């Protein structure tokens, strides 16, 4: 479960959200059996999707899809207005060389490509926006999307800190300027404090409220809190339905093996179906072909 604090400052001219997402990132790592860097990359994108939950409309779902030619491949995170999140990365096991500072350059995991944002607000067709990957730093790319596509000046700070035992810290902070008449002095102050800001250095040392007050440079916050949980939308019924899109030859092969397995890409849950269930799918498929 991730703790999420969100609200406004400076009389509603700025809105913010901040989260400690360590537990959710840990669960993703365990479910997908991720190595070090995939955990950091997916953890950052999932943390970003948690931060934007307070900005979703009722019944809205938002999906961030990073498609790159880098080692990470595709990275996907999805959150809902209800406070649920899920995600996956296509390459679950890769590492990169350390840079001259002895640290892994996470930017090297995402090279080129684009960020696709899908907003499902319950209409027949979801709203889809695409922006190019501008840096490979997920925080900068998400901020670029909101600033460019939604015309809302935004800043994101995302972090996942690993140690020998796994995920030590994970969290993020998002700030958006809703009223562009806000004083330049306030904005420049926030920019200075965000310069070189690492949220993992503050998590556990300060409360989410105190971190926000420091970055925004004000004690006057209006905020609420909510808990965000990892929750997948898959089910045995949906997995069974997915068998129906397979070719007859594939189904016959599975029947010969005595079982069919469907693994959910979002949560890595595997559903197993026996010969009788496979036969049902085969018969339905044959009837539809007549």
Q: Identify the structural domains of the chain with CATH numbers, from first to last.
A: 2-230 (3.55.30.10), 236-289 (3.90.1280.10)
Q: How far apart are CA 194 and CA 46, in angstroms?
A: 21
Residue 286's pLDDT is 81
Q: Within a 10 A sphere around the Cβ of 37, how many other Cβ atoms? A: 23
pLDDT tens, position by position, 202-215: 998 999 999 999 99
Decide: residue 43, CB within 10 A, 0-12 exposed, 13-18 middle, 19+ buried: buried
Listed as ranges, residues in the chain with pLDDT below 70 are: 97-104, 290
Tell me how far apart the alpha carbons of residues 96 and 153 are, in angstroms, rounded to a whole number.
32
Give me the pLDDT at residue 290, please: 62
Whole-angstrom distance, CA of residue 119 vs CA of residue 219: 34
CB atoms under 10 Å from CB of 74, counted, come to 15
Non-local (6+) Cβ contacts of 241 within 8 A are none
Closest Cα to residue 27, out of 71, 108, 86, 93? 86
Q: What is the rounded (10 degree) CA torsion for 239, 244, 245, 251?
A: 100
The pLDDT score that the predictor gives to residue 205 is 92
As beta bridge partners, residue 228 has 2
pLDDT at 94: 86
Position 157 scores a pLDDT of 96
């Amino acid at each position: 479960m991730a703790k999420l604090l969100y609200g406004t400052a400076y009389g509603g001219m700025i809105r913010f959200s901040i989260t400690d997402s360590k537990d959710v990132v840990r669960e993703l790592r365990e479910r997908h059996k991720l190595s070090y860097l995939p955990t950091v990359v997916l953890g950052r994108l999932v943390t970003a999707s948690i931060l934007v939950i307070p900005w979703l409309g009722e019944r809205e779902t938002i999906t961030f899809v990073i498609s790159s030619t880098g080692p990470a491949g595709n990275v996907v995170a999805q959150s809902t207005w209800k406070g649920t999140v899920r995600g996956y990365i296509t390459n679950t096991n890769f590492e990169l060389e350390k840079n001259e500072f002895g640290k892994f350059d996470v930017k090297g995991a995402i090279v080129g490509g684009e960020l696709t944002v899908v907003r499902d607000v319950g209409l027949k067709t979801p709203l889809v926006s695409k922006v190019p990957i501008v840096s490979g730093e997920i925080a900068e790319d998400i901020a670029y999307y909101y600033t460019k596509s939604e015309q809302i000046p935004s800043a994101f700070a995302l972090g996942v800190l690993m140690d020998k035992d796994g995920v030590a810290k994970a969290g993020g902070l998002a700030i958006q300027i809703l009223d562009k008449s806000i004083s330049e002095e306030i904005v420049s102050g926030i920019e200075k404090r965000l310069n070189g800001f690492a949220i993992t250095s503050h998590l556990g040392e300060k409360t989410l409220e105190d971190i926000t007050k420091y970055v925004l440079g004000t004690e006057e916050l209006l905020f609420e809190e909510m808990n965000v949980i990892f929750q997948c939308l898959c089910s045995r019924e949906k997995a069974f339905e997915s068998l129906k899109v397979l070719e007859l030859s594939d189904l016959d092969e599975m029947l010969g093996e005595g079982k069919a397995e469907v693994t959910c890409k979002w949560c890595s849950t595997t559903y197993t179906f026996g010969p009788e269930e496979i036969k049902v799918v085969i018969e339905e498929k044959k009837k539809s072909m007549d």
